[in-house]
Amino acid sequence: MITSLRCIALRTIKYNDRHCIVSVWSEQMGRVGLLVSAGNGREDRRRRALMMPLGMFECQGSIRPGSDLFKITDVAPLYVPATLTDSPARSAVAMFIAEVIERTLHDSPPDATLTNALFSAVQLLDCLPSGADVASFPITFLCHLARLLGIAPNVDQWQRGSFFDMSDGRFRRSAPLDHLALQPAEARIAALVMRSDFRTAGRLPLNRQLRRTILDKLLQYYSIHHCDLTTLRTLPILQSLF
């Protein structure tokens, strides 16, 4: 059966001498693998260019007999980015976001609302001004995705002097007994970050060290409440740039 797929490309791995597998998040099927030619023909190169990390495209796919991979035809772009492939900083952020999506949505069912939110986030990354907005984007994306996944804390619970209990995922007036807590100064920053959005995150007073600390805490939070994100391959690259 042939299925129309609207996809966000996540990662490409070599399958054999003739093919590679592109891991994608699709609106219709969730996360799937696409079998793509590794040849050097013009059409092969065009397809692979559309399937760089966070590339958005549509195609026709059919499951190969005895396999869970889709063989695809009629590949066309859904959005042509202006900066993601030309800017090393944006490319690094794109690879990081793609790996986060692959990890967090690995076994998630199809979700049109989630897919549209991811499409919008990719376009915002492509259009944001350079500098602090791009540097803060991984943090803002993780906060945004946490809300979509239903694991975000209730920021309205924050009050001056509150601690943030990482294990319970909530702000509280007293320090929790375990060590997985943010002290009041860190908890205040966490509340500010969680309240921000893609267009306002660049205005937050975050220096490089503070961005690193917040990112590490967010990845730890995901690892407690959803899946392990502390071993992302792309994290060292991101940290070297921001």
Can you read off the two tokens belonging to residue 196?
């921000």
DSSP structural state of residue 108:
P
Q: In the predicted model, what is the mean pLDDT of the chain? A: 91
* pLDDT tens profile 66-123: 678 999 999 999 999 888 888 889 999 999 999 999 999 999 999 999 999 999 999 9
Pairwise CA distance, residues 202 & 204, whole Å: 6
Residue 189 has pLDDT above 80, yes or no: yes
Query: Cβ distance 208 to 194 under 8 Å?
Result: no
pLDDT in the model for residue 205? 78
Q: Is the pLDDT of residue 143 over 90?
A: yes
Average pLDDT over residues 164-193: 89
Least Cα distance to 58 among 68, 47, 42 occurs for 47
Q: What is the pLDDT of residue 29?
A: 93
- pLDDT digit string (tens) for 15-67? 998 999 999 999 999 999 999 988 888 888 898 889 999 999 999 998 867 67
Cβ–Cβ < 8 Å for 198, 224: no
DSSP string across 112-126? HHHHHHHHHHHHHHH
Which two three-digit tokens encode residue 136?
A: 């803060």
Say what the pTM is: 0.92
